[in-house]
Structure 1
Amino acid sequence: MTITIYHNPDCGTSRNTLAMIRQSGIEPEIIEYLKQPPSREKLIELMTRMGISPRDLLRQKGTPYDDLELADLRWTDDELIDFMIAHPILINRPVVVTPKGVKLCRPSEEVLSILPNPHIGRFVKEDGEIINAN
């Protein structure tokens, strides 16, 4: 069984999600999407499988979102995808792919809904928040 995480090791939510996957007993395929950005086709496939629009996948914090004026509604979905391809930091994370589905896992415990074994017991996030998933 393959689970894939589109991961940014500098992101606490992404690190927590990866740790939850590992605590479930699975070592996922890790794609550091800032180093290996998804192709346009893969990005569209992921959004389609998640049932979200490009605007829903845009990350604002710590990105060129404001400089590029991406809040402006004049941008088409295709143009927003072009921006994410040109600036992968604009892709919100982590995105996790499992046999049960594809999901943007914010907050990190969202991953539990698509893990084959979501019973990870007690999990303590980096910020100290406790998640009980029995």
Structure 2
Amino acid sequence: MKATIWHNPKCGTSRKTLALLEERPGVELAVIEYLKNPPSAEKLAQLYRDAGMSPRDGLRLRGTDAEERGLPDASDADILAAMAAEPILIERPLVETERGVRLCRPMERVEEIL
């Protein structure tokens, strides 16, 4: 099974999710450090759609200026544009497989798509 993790190596939950994926037999893993290689607004929209969540649900508030910028009340398009421009606003880790996408907070949510 192929899996892609949108990873932040400074995040403990992201590191633990990555370790779980690396230890899983049969998982062909692609790791994207999204702070260095941010996804486009279109890719983010697809990830959230496939996860059954809104961009607002994937907006990272802790450690960002998202609330000061009014992003929690912004349109989906504005949130996606802000995330694509400043990937620190993306809550992590996101994992994508052929079985779906999950925001793996807590990390055990990855099991739903493996």
Under TM normalisation by the shorter chain, which class is it?
A: over 0.9
Describe the superposition over 1:73-113 as per-residue Cα deviations: whole angstroms up to 9, x where unpaired.
2x111111111112111111100011211110000011111
What TM-score do the two structures reach when normalised by structure 1?
A: 0.79
Amino acid paired to 1:33: Y
Question: Which residue in 2 is equivalent to 1:34?
Answer: 35
Deviation of 1:24 after TM superposition, in Å, equals 1.0
Question: Which residue in 1 is equivalent to 2:113?
Answer: 114
Unaligned residue ranges in structure 1 (runs of 5+): 116-134
Does residue 95 in structure 1 map to residue 94 in structure 2? yes
Identity %: 51
Distance 1:40 1:79 in 2: 9
Question: Which residue in 2 is equivalent to 1:9?
Answer: 9
Equivalences, count: 113
Describe the superposition over 1:29-50 as per-residue Cα deviations: whole angstroms up to 9, x where unpaired.
0000000000121111111111
Q: Which has the higher contact order (CA 8 A, sep 6+)?
A: 2
Deviation of 1:63 after TM superposition, in Å, equals 1.4
Deviation of 1:27 after TM superposition, in Å, equals 4.6
Give every structure 1 segment of 4 or more consecutive aligned residues whose post-TM-superposition deviation is greater than 4 Å: none
Question: Which residue in 1 is equivalent to 2:19?
Answer: 19
Amino acid paired to 1:81: L
Matched position secondary structure for 1:31: strand
Distance 1:96 1:58 in 2: 16
Question: Which residue in 2 is equivalent to 1:63?
Answer: 64
Distance 1:107 1:27 in 2: 22
Name the larger-Rg structure: 1
Unaligned residue ranges in structure 2 (runs of 5+): none
Amino acid paired to 2:83: M
Distance 2:94 2:54 in 1: 14
Deviation of 1:70 after TM superposition, in Å, equals 2.3
